[in-house]
């Protein structure tokens, strides 16, 4: 695709937070840089000052800007109003490509296609980013969501998975897709491959991400409790989440007597947070292909990760260093790294692997190839 023949592209997502928004923001900026008319449609109720500042930057950088609408997190009657508002935007823009991210973005976007609200030539892509695939196939919610995923395939030009793990999970839970599907890994930019040096007042460990049990925040707090029974250990917990989750984690820290050694900080740029600690812990119970692992590897930061989702695809030959997503394994890995003075033999080879195979340029090129194929360009 050349700038002489630009596409109109809309990225649709519910929550403008976390790795999913990092992915689509990087992709949208890269596409705009190639001369395409790109915009984002997302929720206006989610996020804090950090996310609002990021969206302001995107608003100024993208030709079609950022449109924020009320999109409920929970499934309910208010979804109908949200869908109608999304449909109004799409009818006005009439994109060549509608790229739907996450479960709710996928539902709104593909129902827009089913309703006739998009041009007949519009290509609709869906990237789950984990989403509904985290549900158990045997659960009531899982059965409903997976049936919906299967139903919506008929209005999907192609599925885009961020990891081979996610692609396998989709096939296992939803079934072999009836539309085209591809794996295109997330990527980071060249400036993110520069090392980050911990500050003079850096703490021992860092958790950064969405504050929810799926990300293992509770495991991280319990591990800090166990470590401090033996020797002093300090940590930062950086990120945001639902108010009830944040309150519960603060209560955990207080009840375990950790208020002097574990502190909370709102969302902030990852590399700024990296300088606040000697090592990062990613204690997730489920992931697709987490950006924080790519970012930490790019920054040459010592890291402890659980062996879930597509993290092993990032680690490659270093995957033996991954640990089980349980408290004893995480605590032991943190203890060993602390006793080693935060020196890890995996840091250098992991940095090189990410530098060689996980770039924004590679990600954008692969996705644009899918667009071209669907549009016969």
Pairing of strands 203-208, 277-282: parallel
User: Of the candidates 285, 281, 236, 273, which has an alpha carbon nearest to the alpha carbon of residue 258?
Assistant: 236
Q: What is the 3-state secondary structure (H, E, C) of 56-71?
A: HHHHHHCCCCEEEECC
Condensed to tens digits (0 to 9), the pLDDT of residues 8-65 reads 999 999 999 888 999 999 999 999 999 999 999 999 988 888 889 999 999 999 999 9
Give strand pairing partners of 69. 43
- pLDDT tens for 118-141 read 988 899 999 999 888 989 999 999
Fold type of domain 190-357: Rossmann fold (3.40.50)
List of residues 6+ apart from 60 with CB closer than 8 A:
none
Q: What's the average model confidence in pLDDT over 94-114?
A: 96
Secondary structure (DSSP) of 92-135 = HH--SEEEEEHHHHHHHHHHHHHTT-S-TT-EEEEE-SSGGGGS
Return all residues near 69 (Cβ < 8 A) that are at least 6 apart.
41, 42, 43, 44, 82, 85, 86, 89
Instruction: Locate the domains of the chain by residue range.
Output: 8-187+359-375, 190-357
Q: Does residue 3 carry a pLDDT above 60?
A: no
* The two domains 8-187+359-375 and 190-357 share their CATH topology (first three levels equal): yes
Predicted TM-score of the model (pTM): 0.91
**Cα gap 33→103, rounded to integer Å:** 27
Map residue 238 onto helix, strand or coil. strand
- pLDDT of 117 reads 86
Q: Extract the tokens encoding 223.
A: 């591990």
CATH number for the 8-187+359-375 domain, one of 3.30.300.30, 1.10.3720.10, 3.90.226.10, 3.40.50.2000? 3.40.50.2000
């Amino acid at each position: 695709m050349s700038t002489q023949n630009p596409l109109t592209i809309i990225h649709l997502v519910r929550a403008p937070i976390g790795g999913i928004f990092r992915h689509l923001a990087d992709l949208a900026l890269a596409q705009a840089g190639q001369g395409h008319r790109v915009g984002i449609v997302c929720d206006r109720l989610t996020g804090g000052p950090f996310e609002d500042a990021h969206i302001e930057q995107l608003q100024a950088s993208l030709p079609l800007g950022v449109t924020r609408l009320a999109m409920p997190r929970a499934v309910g009657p208010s979804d109908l109003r949200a869908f109608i508002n999304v449909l109004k935007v799409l009818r006005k823009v009439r994109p060549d490509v509608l790229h739907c991210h996450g479960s709710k973005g996928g539902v709104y976007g593909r129902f827009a296609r089913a309703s006739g609200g998009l041009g007949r030539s519009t290509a609709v892509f869906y990237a789950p980013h984990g989403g509904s695939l985290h549900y158990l196939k045997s659960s009531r919610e899982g059965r409903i969501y997976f049936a919906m995923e299967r139903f919506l395939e008929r209005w999907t030009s192609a599925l885009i998975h961020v990891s081979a793990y996610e692609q396998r999970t989709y096939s296992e839970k939803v079934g072999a897709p009836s539309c085209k599907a591809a794996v295109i890994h997330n990527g980071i930019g060249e400036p993110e491959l520069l090392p980050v040096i911990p500050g003079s007042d850096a703490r021992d460990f860092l958790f950064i991400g969405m504050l929810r049990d799926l990300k293992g925040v509770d495991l991280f707090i319990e591990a800090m409790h166990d470590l401090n029974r033996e020797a002093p250990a300090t940590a930062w917990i950086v990120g945001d989440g639902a108010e009830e989750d944040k309150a519960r984690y603060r209560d955990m820290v207080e009840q375990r007597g950790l208020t002097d050694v574990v502190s909370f900080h709102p969302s902030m740029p990852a590399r700024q947070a990296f300088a606040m600690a000697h090592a990062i812990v990613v204690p997730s119970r489920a992931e697709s292909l987490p950006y924080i692992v790519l970012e930490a590897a790019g920054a040459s930061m010592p890291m402890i990760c659980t062996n879930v989702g597509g993290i092993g695809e990032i680690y490659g030959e270093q995957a033996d260093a991954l640990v089980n997503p349980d408290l004893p394994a995480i605590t032991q890995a943190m203890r060993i790294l602390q006793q080693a003075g935060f020196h890890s033999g995996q840091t250098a080879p992991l940095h090189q692997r990410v530098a060689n195979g996980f770039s924004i340029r590679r990600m954008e090129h692969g996705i644009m190839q899918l667009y071209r194929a669907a549009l016969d360009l």
